[in-house]
Amino acid sequence: MTAEKRFGNQYPTQSVILPFTETKYQEAIEIYEKSKHKCYPWQENLLKEVMAIDEDGLWTHQKFGYSIPRRNGKTEIVYILELWSLEQGLSILHTAHRISTSHSSYEKLKKYLEDSGYIEGEDFKSIKAKGQERLELIESGGVIQFRTRTSSGGLGEGFDILVIDEAQEYTTEQESALKYTVTDSDNPMTIMCGTPPTPVSSGTVFTNYRENTLAGKAKYSGWAEWSVEDIKDIHDVEAWYNSNPSMGYHLNERKIEAELGEDKLDHNVQRLGYWPKYNQKSVISEQEWNALKVNRLPVIKGKLFVGIKYGNDGANVAMSIAVKTLSGKIFVETIDCQSIRNGNQWIINFLKKADVEKVVIDGQSGQSILTSEMKDFKLKEPILPTVKEIINANSRWEQGIFQKSFCHSGQPSLTTVVTNCDKRTIGNSGGFGYKSQFDDMDISLMDSALLAHWACSNNKPKKKQQIRY
């Protein structure tokens, strides 16, 4: 008895699709099938959403991005859309990162036209020059041009549809040159397709678009991806089927087994669609942070300012200090970051022994308990900052880095967290805080340091009262 054939997941693992009632995908599939090719179910499902239209006949998604692991046939979606667009008399610009990819797409679409019965010279014209390929349907006037992307390519030209193949390599400079090419169209569409970026990928547009669309910040935009949230074992067959919709069609277990190697991360990115965070630049770079490093402890003056931060997940609590130096800068250093299960005694012990001016505590998970314990030990009442003050503390930290008004000793733990962080929104007035780019790095370490820095920079020396007779 033969085992029932198994197919990959035919629906995206994560997507943002705007509401629609009508779509042009069926027309496109009928044109595509004239070339004697058939759509996979996942391709039909995705095309239905890509080609959705509103009540005015305009594309529901003026921009649509999708990410699928390699060798699944992701560009086929684009070819189907392009064949339909040529029949409608539209103008298309198909761009890729490499000349070989761009030329391959030209060859593929030309073959589809020929397989559909079109004859070169009678039904369509073609220009074969590598890097400047072009196809034109004579009857409809539809034109498609194939280009490799540059920082100036596309300027001065106008199109109805812009295709960004190998979108993981799409840079902001290229976007600046290309995004206006569809502005004059009555019904423009931009399609971005690719895979998650690798460590050597130069583009950031695709990643930023994904983040903004998934967060609901991109208007008239759609997104679909086949991916895993966490890194999987390379032999996890369930993950293969989850992330590769063409499994059971032209892709199978035997082919994936043949490509398995030693690089677990590469397998997760290329085959399972995992989106790593290493391609996202930290908002505080190593260069910026290292510029504040001192090789020896500076001469300090005055008392210590202590910042204590309880992590948002309630797991850890971190403590750092800040103190003014003789040169007029502020020196910051982390004391420790421990599990909340260890209690607060290590914090109390430090506060009792140190010469402390002010203590700032943030974090609802432990703020009130520590305040109560400090009262029991007759320690100074701490500052419990408001949201507005937290926003101010984060801004002061950023300004301090830019203005080089504070310094540190280059502690590895603090350096690792600081140079792998991103911004997050706080409040409704444009305020920001910080978050770690990696799950195993606790941002509370930096938060405690910036709270101490804020308290220290906020502290104004008391003016001596002068009495005149």
Q: Mind listing the pLDDT tens digit for each residue in 186-233?
A: 999 999 999 998 766 778 899 999 999 998 999 999 999 999 988 899
Residue 279: predicted pLDDT: 42
Q: Which H or E run contains 284?
A: none
Please state, in angstroms and rounded to a whole number, the distance separating the CA atoms of residues 460 and 443: 28
Handedness of CA 179, 182, 187, 190 (dihedral sign): negative
Question: What backbone torsions phi and psi does residue 354 show, to the nearest 5 degrees?
Answer: -80, 160
> C-alpha 31: how far from its chain's center?
36
Is it the case that residue 162 has pLDDT exceeding 50?
Answer: yes
Banded model confidence at residue 173, pLDDT cuts 50, 70, 90: confident
Please list, in sequence order, all residues whose beta carbon lies within 8 angstroms of the beta carbon of residue 342, skipping any fewer than 6 positions away.
none
> 10 Å Cβ neighbour count for 32?
23
The fraction of the chain above a pLDDT of 90, given in percent, is 76
More confident residue, 243 or 153: 243
Arithmetic mean of pLDDT over the chain: 91
Which secondary structure element, helix H or strand E, spans residue 48, and what is its range? Answer: helix 41-50
pLDDT at 442: 86
Per-residue pLDDT for 356 more than 50?
Answer: yes
* Model confidence at 9: pLDDT above 70: yes
State pLDDT tens for residues 253-279. Answer: 999 999 998 888 889 999 999 987 654
Amino acid letter at 426? Answer: I
Pick the CATH number of 14-270 from 3.40.390.10, 3.40.50.300, 3.40.980.10, 2.60.120.10: 3.40.50.300
pLDDT of 3? 64
- At residue 432 the predicted structure's pLDDT band, cuts being 50, 70 and 90, is confident
Judged by phi (left if over 0) then psi (alpha if -120 to 50, else beta), residue 254 lies in: alpha
Question: Is pLDDT of 137 > 70?
Answer: yes
| Tokens found for residue 96 | 């890729």
Mutual angle of helices 75-87 and 99-115, in 10-degree steps? 50
What's the burial of 326, exposed, middle or buried (CB within 10 Å: 0-12/13-18/19+)? Answer: exposed
Is the confidence at residue 106, as pLDDT, over 60?
A: yes
Torsion of CA 298, 328, 318, 459, to 10 degrees: 140
Q: How confident is the model at residue 102 (pLDDT cuts 50, 70, 90)?
A: very high
Helix, strand, coil shares, percent, the chain, to 5: 35, 20, 45
Which pLDDT value is given to residue 95? 95
Strands (DSSP E) contained in 354-428 are 356-362, 406-408, 421-426
User: Please, which residues have CB within 8 angstroms of residue 264's CB and are 6 or more apart in sequence?
Assistant: 231, 233, 234
pLDDT > 70? residue 464: no
224 SS3 class: strand
CATH (one of 3.30.420.240, 3.50.50.60, 3.30.300.30, 3.10.20.600) for 286-458:
3.30.420.240
- Within the chain, all domains assigned CATH 3.40.50.300 are found at 14-270
pLDDT exceeds 90 at position 372: yes
Query: How confident is the model at residue 315, as a pLDDT?
Result: 85
For the segment 398-425, the average pLDDT, to the nearest whole number, is: 92
Looking at the chain, the domain(s) classified CATH 3.30.420.240 span: 286-458
Residue 280: the pLDDT is 55
For 461, the 3-state DSSP assignment is coil
Mean pLDDT, residues 10-34 = 96
| C-alpha pair distances (Å), 429 with each of 96, 432, 434, 439 | 39, 9, 16, 27
Q: Is the pLDDT of residue 151 over 70?
A: no
CA–CA dist 104, 99 (Å, integer): 8
Mean pLDDT of 38-58: 97
- What is the residue type of 183? T
Which residues lie closer than 8 Å to 266 by C-beta, 6 or more apart?
198
Measure the CA–CA gap between 387 and 310, rounded to whole angstroms.
Answer: 15
Q: How far apart are the first and last CA of the chain?
A: 111
Angle, CA 272 vertex, CA 29 and CA 226 arms, to 5°: 40
The DSSP H or E segment spanning 290 is: helix 286-290
Six-digit token pair at 297? 């402890």
d(CA 164, CA 181): 13
Other Cβ atoms within 10 Å of 84 Cβ, number: 22
pLDDT band for 152, please (50, 70, 90 cuts).
low
Tally helices (H) and strands (E) across the chain: 15, 18
Quick one: pLDDT at residue 462? 59
The pLDDT-based confidence of 465 (bands split at 50, 70, 90) is low
pLDDT above 70 covers a percentage of the chain that reads: 94
In this predicted model, what pLDDT tens digit does every residue of 433-458 receive, in sequence order? Answer: 998 877 778 899 999 999 999 999 99
Residue identified by tokens 């007035």 is: 429
| H or E stretch covering 124 | strand 124-127
